[in-house]
Amino acid sequence: MINPAFPSDRIADRVHMARAIRLAAQGLYTTEPNPRVGCVIVKAGLVVGEGWHRRAGSPHAEPLALAAAGDAARGATAYVSLEPCCHHGRTPPCTEALLAAGVARVVVAMTDPNPLVAGSGLDRLRAGGVAVEQGLLETEARRLNPGFIKRMERGLPHVRVKLAASLDGRTAMASGESQWITSAAARRDVQFLRARSSAILTGVGTLLADDPSLNVRLSPADLPGVGPDGTVRQPLRVVVDSHLRTPPTARLLSLPGQTLIACLDPEADGLRPGNPEPLPTTEPHLTPIPAPSGDQAPDRAPAHAQEPDLDDDPHIRLDPKRAAHLAAATHLEATGAGILRVPPGPGGLDLETLLRYLARMEINEVLIEAGATLAGSALQAGLVDELVLYLAPHLMGDAGRGLFHLPGLDRMHDRLALEIQDLRQIGPDLRLTAVPRG
Ligand code: AOF
Ligand code: ZN
């Protein structure tokens, strides 16, 4: 769509920005936690340099394109899918590189939502005498980085729920049998969803039933931008396991990559759902579980505990539970897994707090691969941005299990509305992508 706010919406500008966006997409599987960014430098109608950001810590798109352009960058136009940065991060500011190269005009698709940049990059370029335009192909550019944008704007990752079902919406037979509903082609497609994600989240129910691996089993050559010599990044695996029922022998604990077990905090430790209190961001990433002290008294005595009344002290009464919790945590930690204690929320641990925590770990995109209960709670809590539903051409009957557990939906008025964004065939199956509406 033509953007009426864009002052010089010429065909050539659109072509070059479209190219910058395609270049940016090369980083789909490699740039996290950084955004995917592409840059094209054009002089007198000719492309003189191109670049795209490959991974955090390596050069940004603009210096790569400038290096390719060399002296031809002087007086040229730079098309960038994201506002150039003006801060010293892992790499120096791109604004200074553009100014030093003598670029005359910079066209950006969108401003950088990173509060360290957020318009200051464009201001810096203007102050340096560069003509600046923004907003060309902004919708397309935003689609490159749903997780980075949401994390920067709202402190939450982009959450995608993947489900596989029969055409009549069943995910398992009544017996629990579910392997395999969709074809090998559809399951391979899921591998690409995993590969672009920073974390894969499942529930302990799925873990106990299926013993899933939740890893990426593609080879480097399968992933554009990784290349045959690159390494395939394994997303963080997160198990939502309120009462630490994950067996230390679970398959995913023995695979390369990190696993985080999110459990219910037996004492809540002062954190409440939605508590803005910052969780620790420094290493180690995880809330440590205090070792039990001699009498197993709580580390922080409640305010009313001046005259201890043992019968009334919830911590003393919880001791056996707490001891079991600590023993289970110790066994899981011995496998290398991290334990994260999360305060309670509706129907278990508070998913929003967990997601906020993951965002603080610089997790951009989360893929939920779980059963009806976790998928339903995430959806009802308004935490899901995207549903990817694989539908196999089978009917499994009405004794089978459904896609989402959504208690309280009694009337038509209560329905959760979705908007279908994409529908395509993957082998014999259908893949439907939808976003919750409203
Ligand atoms: C750009 N061009 O290609 C990218 C940008 O730690 P650093 O130095 O890699 O900086 C990361 C931040 O820089 C990131 O959070 C985002 O704001 C911006 N990313 N900016 O000008 C690029 N990848
Ligand atoms: Zn930069």
| CATH top-level class of 146-436 | alpha beta
Mutate to test the pocket of ligand 1, among 58, 112, 124, 151 (most ligand atoms within 8 A of CB): 112
pLDDT at residue 313, as a whole number? 54
Q: Whose CA is nearest to atom 21 of ligand 1?
A: 84
CB of 18 shorter than 6 A to ligand 1: no
The predicted structure's pLDDT at residue 374? 95
- What single string gives the DSSP state of each residue in 386-415? EEEEEEES----TTSB-S---TT--SGGGP
For residue range 117-163, what is the model confidence (pLDDT) as tens digits? 999 999 999 999 999 999 999 999 999 999 999 999 999 999 999 99
Residue 78's nearest CA partner among 94, 59, 92, 98 is 98
- Which atom of ligand 1 sits closest to the CA of residue 92? 8
User: Taking CA 340 as the corner, what is the angle to CA 308 and CA 376, rounded to the nearest 5 degrees?
Assistant: 110
Substitution site in 37, 60, 130 for ligand 1 pocket (most atoms within 8 Å of beta carbon):
60
Would you say the CB of residue 84 lies under 6 angstroms from ligand 1?
Answer: yes
d(C-alpha 278, C-alpha 424), whole Å: 42
The tokens for 254 are 């023995």
* pLDDT of the chain, 438 residues: tens digit per residue: 555 555 545 899 999 999 999 999 999 999 999 999 999 999 999 999 999 999 999 999 999 999 999 999 999 999 999 999 999 988 899 999 999 999 999 999 999 999 999 999 999 999 999 999 999 999 999 999 999 999 999 999 999 999 999 999 999 888 888 888 999 999 999 999 999 999 999 999 999 999 999 999 999 999 999 988 889 999 999 999 999 999 999 999 999 999 999 999 877 643 343 343 434 433 333 443 333 333 333 333 333 333 344 445 555 555 677 888 899 999 999 999 999 999 998 879 999 999 999 999 999 999 999 999 999 999 999 999 999 999 999 999 888 889 999 988 889 998 999 999 999 999 999 999 999 997
d(C-alpha 77, C-alpha 31), whole Å: 25
Long-range contacts (CB closer than 8 Å, 24 or more residues apart) made by 285-293: 285/338, 285/361, 286/260, 286/338, 286/339, 286/340, 287/339, 287/340, 287/341, 289/325, 289/326, 289/329, 289/339, 289/341, 291/326, 292/322, 292/323, 292/326
C-alpha torsion 317→320→321→325, nearest 10: 140
DSSP 261: E
Per DSSP bridges, beta strands 365-368 and 131-134 are unpaired
CATH fold of 11-144: Cytidine Deaminase; domain 2 (3.40.140)
Ligand 1 pocket, 117 CB below 6 A? Answer: yes
User: Relative to the CA of 61, which ligand 1 atom is closest?
Assistant: 3
Residue 62 annotated to the active site: yes
Atom number, ligand 1, closest to the C-alpha of residue 35: 23
**What local confidence, expressed as pLDDT, does residue 73 receive?**
98
- Specify the pLDDT at position 176: 81
Q: Which of 32, 62, 83, 369 is catalytic?
A: 62
β partners of residue 43: 46
In 3D, which of 66, 64, 45 has the Cα closest to residue 53?
Answer: 64
What are the structural domain ranges in the chain?
11-144, 146-436
60 lines ligand 1 (CB under 6 A): yes
